[in-house]
Amino acid sequence: MPHPNRPFVHLIAAARPNFMKVAPLYHALQRDGGFALLFVHTGQHYDKNMSDVFLRELGLPAPDVNLGVGGGSHAEQTAGVMVAYERLCLERRPDWAIVVGDVNSTMACTIAAKKLEIKVAHLEAGLRSFDRTMPEEVNRVVTDALADLLWTPSADGDENLRCEGIPDNRIERVGNIMIDSFEALRSRIAAVDIVARFGCPSGDYGVVTLHRPANVDDRETLGTIVATLGQIADRLPLVFPVHPRTRDRLEQFGLAERLANHSAVLETQPASYVDFMGLVTASRFVITDSGGVQEETTYLGIPCLTLRPNTERPVTVTHGTNRLVSPDDLADAVAQILTGVCDRPSRPPPLWDGRTAERVVASLREVCERAPSSAGFDRAFHGQSL
């Protein structure tokens, strides 16, 4: 055992939205000093602008281990991560594997760890869109069914887990860790020079992000979205950092040129975290299909139009600025924002306060103290009394 006196923890990141969840926890675990930490990157995202720049801006070191799995079909990617992560666990067996979010690697590492009887904690547990055509929903359901400790961002998460039969003593509401990243970098985000960086007037543009298969993998749907973005850009400029999947599909479907013809749609490479949050903070509204952006706009009170029929983050609609829209309704929804028809105040949900990482560390410490051994943990957390 390399760390006889401290629980040995793997902290696992894989894809762009994971880094802003892992960074605050990495820093909080380091500050605490009570855990031996191995920072693992599965390599699901590998481009510099989808991975390295986020590590750098969020103050994360180079990963201790990069599994280098890369892309592929869902089965190929999931299997690749399972094989590589199992090998790592056999070589450097942790007491706890911490997974975050809902990407393929989250589920793959959970399955590999549980088959080796390693305890798993899931940060951002309990979110449900109830739409199993979304790959992320499958990842969430499987991860939460297997994980030993479930850290949720909001009350709906607790409720969803209870409905799936997860006992209360495995659920802990800790809040939204992405807000920790925003607060840590707030001053650098506020200093982004939007005019110099993106060439549009602060406060007078919209931001667009799109990458979900349901929006970008179908030619007709993506064609409607491109045409509508063109119409909207006749009224005010749109800044559109284009995801690699979306770039591929635009080219494959012959839509890239059509988009480029709208001079007020400003296409950019995927933006870094600080640049992107700077862009969102100074925008008039955001059009997105991302999960995290729905939360960030709610926190900031920026109107958000989500191009999806459902969301696993309902508090962004009930407490925040989020509205679900179809491609056909998008132009009208933007017009309503621009005329102020649907202005409403945003209330960040409880515990979205920049202190989630502290609560996660306290929860992990408490669990490790209560049940330091695996057998003790199983008795305490899987139904048997100690």
Q: In the complex, what is the shortest distance from the CB of residue 26 to ligand UD1, in angstroms, rounded to a whole number?
A: 19
Residue 209 touching ligand UD1 (CB under 6 A) = no
Which residue matches tokens 């695996």?
374
Cα–Cα nearest to 361, from 161, 106, 177: 177
∠91-95-97 over CA atoms, to 5°?
85
- Of 171-200, which residues contact ligand UD1 (CB under 6 A)? none
SS3 192: coil
Residue 21 touching ligand UD1 (CB under 6 A) = no
Q: Which of these segments, 13-21, 33-41, 57-65, 182-190, binds ligand UD1 (CB under 6 A)? A: 13-21
Residue 71 touching ligand UD1 (CB under 6 A) = yes
Q: In the complex, what is the shortest distance from the CB of residue 98 to ligand UD1, in angstroms, rounded to a whole number?
A: 17
Q: Binder to ligand UD1 among 42, 104, 306, 316 (CB under 6 A)?
A: 104
Binding to ligand UD1 by CB under 6 A, coded x per residue (else -) over 288-317, reads ------------------------------
Q: In the complex, what is the shortest distance from the CB of residue 222 to ligand UD1, in angstroms, rounded to a whole number?
A: 14
Q: What is the DSSP letter of 45?
A: S
Residue 76 touching ligand UD1 (CB under 6 A) = no
Q: How do strand 304-306 and strand 8-13 relate by DSSP bridges?
A: unpaired
Q: What is the DSSP letter of 216?
A: H
Q: Which of these segments, 10-18, 20-28, 192-200, 336-344, binds ligand UD1 (CB under 6 A)? A: 10-18
Q: Which of these segments, 100-108, 155-163, 228-236, 377-385, binds ligand UD1 (CB under 6 A)? A: 100-108
**Helix (H) or strand (E) segment spanning residue 305:** strand 304-306
- Of 213-242, which residues contact ligand UD1 (CB under 6 A)? none
Cα–Cα nearest to 229, from 245, 246, 213: 246
Distance (Å, whole) CA 183 – CA 34: 24
Is the Cβ of residue 170 or residue 249 nearer to ligand UD1 in the bound state? 249
Q: Binder to ligand UD1 among 92, 114, 245, 258 (CB under 6 A)?
A: 245
∠135-139-141 over CA atoms, to 5°?
115
Phi, psi of 65, deg, nearest 5: -135, 130
Phi, psi of 114, deg, nearest 5: -65, -35
Distance (Å, whole) CA 170 – CA 155: 14
Which residue matches tokens 């650098």?
188
- Locate 62 and state its tokens: 């180079």
Q: Give the sheet arrangement for strand 96-100, strand by strand.
A: 65-66, 36-41, 8-13, 96-100, 119-123, 149-152, 171-173
Phi, psi of 208, deg, nearest 5: -125, 130
Residue 176: CB atoms within 10 Å: 28
Q: In the complex, what is the shortest distance from the CB of residue 292 to ligand UD1, in angstroms, rounded to a whole number?
A: 8
Residue 359 touching ligand UD1 (CB under 6 A) = no
Cα–Cα nearest to 170, from 35, 366, 354, 36: 366
Q: How do strand 65-66 and strand 36-41 relate by DSSP bridges?
A: parallel
Is the Cβ of residue 22 or residue 337 nearer to ligand UD1 in the bound state? 22
Is the Cβ of residue 75 or residue 341 nearer to ligand UD1 in the bound state? 75
Q: Binder to ligand UD1 among 9, 10, 12, 17 (CB under 6 A)?
A: 17
The answer to whether 363 and 174 have CB atoms below 8 angstroms apart is: yes
- Give the catalytic positions in this structure: 211
Tell whether the torsion through CA atoms of 298, 299, 301 and 304 is positive or negative: negative
Q: Binder to ligand UD1 among 46, 142, 214, 223 (CB under 6 A)?
A: 46
- Of 112-171, which residues contact ligand UD1 (CB under 6 A)? 135-136
Q: Binder to ligand UD1 among 27, 41, 140, 211 (CB under 6 A)?
A: 211
Residue 66 touching ligand UD1 (CB under 6 A) = no
Q: Binder to ligand UD1 among 10, 16, 41, 249 (CB under 6 A)?
A: 16
Q: Which of these segments, 40-48, 53-61, 225-233, 249-257, binds ligand UD1 (CB under 6 A)? A: 40-48
Residue 8 touching ligand UD1 (CB under 6 A) = no
> Using CB under 6 A as the criterion, which residues of the chain lie in contact with ligand UD1 when the complex forms?
15-17, 44-47, 50-51, 71, 102-104, 135-136, 211, 243-245, 248
